[in-house]
Amino acid sequence: MSKKDVSNKVPIYKLKTTQDIMQHYDKWGDKYDQDMIDWNYTGPKETVNIFKKYAASKDIKIFDAGCGTGLVGIELKKFGYKNIDGADLSKKLLNLIPKGIYNKLEQIDLNKALNKKSNIYDAVLCVGTFTFGHVKPPALDELIRVLKNKGLICFTVNEGIYEEYGFDKKIKELSNNKSWNVIEFFKSDYIASKDVNAWLCLAEIIK
């Protein structure tokens, strides 16, 4: 069976540089949330539904890495999580986030070292960010660094870049060197209307 090509399913998948992606989000921003509804983008809901099975305390400190317009934060709030920080590359998307979802918001390039102390978060969620032209596998090292021992990381990887960008190898490497213990790993619906799936992973950090 031939490998499914999803690279042409969404316009932003064709962009390669950080600058091009930022400009695209600046133009897309006002339509972004409606497009996510129209496309049946289930990534945030699916990820939070898995996450809440393992994160019983509502007081834990959560980092939403690549938070966009706050779709993951909104889902987290529905289940009573209230101590959430968010970060995204696009200032335009950050400006569209409803008030009262996040404690702190920052404009951050997740491909670079995070200006954050180590071991400060109980959980990291990263949804829709590991995709075409966006954030690369080495970012996982930084996300793990800011997590506490036994902290949870829950993220999606677009199926179209999973092997091409080396996420398959990175996830295996982090398991082999005992950086984490993978608890859940399966292919999610993600953007069902576009026939684009993503691998959804939840792991517990080992330090």
Q: What is the pLDDT of residues 61-80, one digit of tens each?
A: 999 999 999 999 999 999 99
pLDDT-derived band at 2 (thresholds 50, 70, 90) equals very low
Interacting residues of 200 by C-beta distance below 8 A, sequence separation 6+: 46, 47, 50, 154, 155, 156, 184, 185, 186, 187, 188
pLDDT-derived band at 38 (thresholds 50, 70, 90) equals low
In the sheet with 62-65, reading across from the earlier edge strand, the strands are 104-107, 84-88, 62-65, 121-130, 147-158, 196-205, 180-191
C-alpha Rg value of the chain to the nearest Å: 16
Asked whether residue 3 is domain-assigned, the answer is no
Asked whether residue 48 is domain-assigned, the answer is yes
Give how far the C-alpha of residue 143 lies from the chain's centroid of Cα atoms, to the nearest Å.
Answer: 11
CATH number at residue 129: 3.40.50.150
Q: Residue 34: what pLDDT?
A: 74
Residue at token pair 């490497």: 173
Domains held by the chain: number = 1
Asked whether residue 29 is domain-assigned, the answer is yes
Q: Look at 54-68, 88-102, 163-177, 191-205 and tell me which has the smallest mean pLDDT.
A: 191-205
Tell whether the model's pLDDT for residue 3 goes beyond 70.
Answer: no
pLDDT-derived band at 192 (thresholds 50, 70, 90) equals confident
Torsion, Cα of 105, 107, 108, 114 (10° steps): -50
Asked whether residue 2 is domain-assigned, the answer is no
28 DSSP assignment: H
Query: How many other C-beta atoms lie within 10 A of the C-beta of residue 118?
Result: 13
167 DSSP assignment: H
- Domain coverage including residue 56: 11-205
Asked whether residue 6 is domain-assigned, the answer is no
